[in-house]
Amino acid sequence: MKFDNVIIGSGLAALWCAKFLNDAAKSTLIITKNQVWDCNSFYAQGGVTLALDEKDVPIHIQDTLKAGSYHNKKEIVEILSKASLKLKEELLNYGFKFDPGVTKEGAHSIRRVFHAGGDATGRELHKFIFRKDKSYLLDEAVVFDILMEKSVAYGVSIYHKGKKYNIYGDNIIIASGGIGALYKYDTNARTISGDLQGLAVEKGIKLKDMEMTQFHPTVFIETRFSQKLLLTEALRGEGAYIIDETGRRFLFDYDERGELASRDIVSRAIFLHQQKGHKVFLDVSMFDEEYFKKRFPTIYQKLKDYDINVPYEPIPISPAFHYMMGGIEVDENSKIPGFENLYAIGEVAYTGVHGANRLASNSLLECFVFAKRASAEIIKRNFKTKDKIFSIISEELFKNDDKHYKNLLREQMWKNVGIVRDERGLKEALSFIEDTIPKLGRLAKLRFLTAREIVKAAINRKNSLGAHYRKDENA
Ligand code: SIN
């Protein structure tokens, strides 16, 4: 089976890239691990940051750089922010309607976050764009190899309904998302496990800033599912407080912006407060119940299901892993340097836009902007691979104890590669990972290779920066 383009992943970056490829009459296959909506974009609550007008562009750029501890690539942030003006028009012309009004989230100096379905922006966008999608779709298919020769990617190997196949394409676009399943507590879709970053390690494709893992401050973790319930930052943007068991808004001890400081600062403050023995809650009692129900319907319903009397009762919260700033290094057109026809878009990619800590709601914007740039580059280059048949690697995909080791990894990453890090803990995580890799089936091994890159990068960055916090930095 050969297609013009093969996209791995089915989030907004994948769908938006496919839209432009399909508009140019290219055949595009989207491969997704489970169902098409099992992706992080679908669960994005807050919204999409869009600069309000030309005058807001430099302010949005400055907010993004400041939140990212100025570790961002400035020229890429400029591309992102300028493109957001056009994206607003494009989405409107495509027929998509945001809710009226814009909201604010942490570290934004003004209200510029557009939302839909109240707190279901990702779901509304994903449903809308997928409905118009003209790609071929292969679901329940796990990619376990990229077929490469020198600087050319010829296709992928997939595992689908108990069988292994190769699928070929002129361009391979990696849009497989981040790494949520590597951590004990995370907000990500259950399919998001860093396999493609592991494949990148195996193929000698460069990963960058892998130590930059973002923890969302307000997550309800007392659920039985591995995906924990995000409580959108828009709640704080619209007035919710973070308090401890005494009712004190302790965040001001850490940053004068309190609840509206950037995510890295708020998460760390909560974590450190918890370490001192406190319990931490989100107080939403200032909202009228009818307003809350309409503005945050997903959160309202889900918390009710857990018997929380919203908005009257304080909601117990903890930070949880949320987003990977690092990833497969790409150029400004989302092409992986050194390869003719290999691209990465969305969370799996490192564009350099987020720096050491992503500004809230910049991720969907990045998906749209760089997916479109990837499609333009693919169309312009018009690269064709020669017809070539690859054999499928024989490595065992699954081993009996994989699940057990994956759970141990989640514990290790949370304990030693979490919000506060030090050399001793990072080295403990590294030896666990290295000792375990030989015992694993291929798919679990790929996620361990990704984890190893995160740990190595965290060991190498000796000083704190943004989301990477080393408590032993002066030791
Ligand atoms: C949120 O709604 O707080 C999450 C949005 C984001 O990750 O930027």
CA distance 345 to 128: 20
pLDDT of residue 49: 98
- In the predicted model, what is the mean pLDDT of residues 353-371? 98
- In the predicted model, what is the mean pLDDT of residues 432-437? 98
**CB-based contact 182:410 (threshold 8 Å):** yes
Model confidence at 223: pLDDT above 70: yes
Measured from the Cβ of residue 376, the count of other Cβ atoms closer than 10 Å reads: 16
The pLDDT tens digits of the residues spanning 191-220 come to 999 999 999 999 999 999 999 999 999 999
Model confidence at 25: pLDDT above 90: no
Distance, CA 223 to ligand 1 centroid (Å)?
19
**CB-based contact 16:373 (threshold 8 Å):** no
- In the predicted model, what is the mean pLDDT of residues 73-102? 97
Give the bridge partners for 48, in sequence order. Answer: 114
| Ordered alpha helix ranges (H), 210-262 | 233-237
Measured from the Cβ of residue 449, the count of other Cβ atoms closer than 10 Å reads: 21
pLDDT of residue 359: 97
Domain 402-460 maps to which CATH number in 1.25.40.340, 3.90.1150.10, 1.10.10.10, 1.20.58.100?
1.20.58.100
pLDDT of residue 317: 97
Ligand 1 pocket test, candidate residues 40, 233, 298, 362, most atoms within 8 A of CB: 233
Ligand 1 pocket test, candidate residues 214, 231, 361, most atoms within 8 A of CB: 361
Instruction: Specify the CATH class of 215-320 in words.
Output: alpha beta
Distance, CA 426 to ligand 1 centroid (Å)?
27
**Pocket (CB within 6 angstroms of ligand 1):** 44-46, 232-234, 323, 360-361, 363
Give the bridge partners for 350, in sequence order. Answer: 329
Q: Which two tokens stand for residue 97?
A: 């309607």
pLDDT of residue 475: 60
Ligand 1 pocket test, candidate residues 108, 230, 358, most atoms within 8 A of CB: 230
Taking CA atoms only, the protein residue closest to ligand 1 atom 2 is: 46
Distance, CA 44 to ligand 1 centroid (Å)?
6
Model confidence at 474: pLDDT above 90: no
Helix (H) or strand (E) holding 157: strand 152-160
Model confidence at 447: pLDDT above 70: yes
Shortest-distance atom of ligand 1 to CA 119: 2
Known catalytic residue: 263?
Answer: yes
Average per-residue pLDDT for the chain: 97
- In the predicted model, what is the mean pLDDT of residues 414-423? 98
- In the predicted model, what is the mean pLDDT of residues 47-68? 98
pLDDT of residue 266: 96
Give residue 301's pLDDT band: very low, low, confident or very high (50, 70, 90). Answer: very high
**CB-based contact 200:328 (threshold 8 Å):** yes
CA distance 348 to 327: 5
**CB-based contact 102:238 (threshold 8 Å):** no
Shortest-distance atom of ligand 1 to CA 322: 7
CA distance 101 to 93: 18
Out of 77-86, 222-231, 355-364, least confident range: 222-231
- In the predicted model, what is the mean pLDDT of residues 58-87? 98
In b/e form, how buried is each residue of 422-442, taking b as 16+ CB within 10 angstroms? beebbebbbebbeebeeebbb
Ligand 1 pocket test, candidate residues 45, 187, 218, 298, most atoms within 8 A of CB: 45
Q: Do domains 215-320 and 402-460 have the same CATH topology?
A: no
- In the predicted model, what is the mean pLDDT of residues 37-42? 96
- In percent, the amount of the chain with pLDDT more than 90 equals 98
Distance, CA 129 to ligand 1 centroid (Å)?
20
Residue of 151, 177, 133 whose CA lies nearest to 9: 177
CA distance 275 to 256: 21
Helix (H) or strand (E) holding 64: helix 56-67
Identify the active-site residue in 112, 123, 236, 263: 263
Q: Which two tokens stand for residue 277?
A: 């023995």
- In percent, the amount of the chain with pLDDT more than 70 equals 100
The pLDDT tens digits of the residues spanning 265-283 come to 999 999 999 999 999 999 9
Residue that has been written with the tokens 């949005």 in this structure:
60
Sheet with 241-244, edge to edge strand ranges: 241-244, 280-283, 315-316
Distance, CA 472 to ligand 1 centroid (Å)?
30
**CB-based contact 28:21 (threshold 8 Å):** yes
Quick check: bond before 311 cis, omega within 30? yes
Distance, CA 405 to ligand 1 centroid (Å)?
30
* Residue extents of the structural domains in the chain: 215-320, 402-460
Distance, CA 228 to ligand 1 centroid (Å)?
14
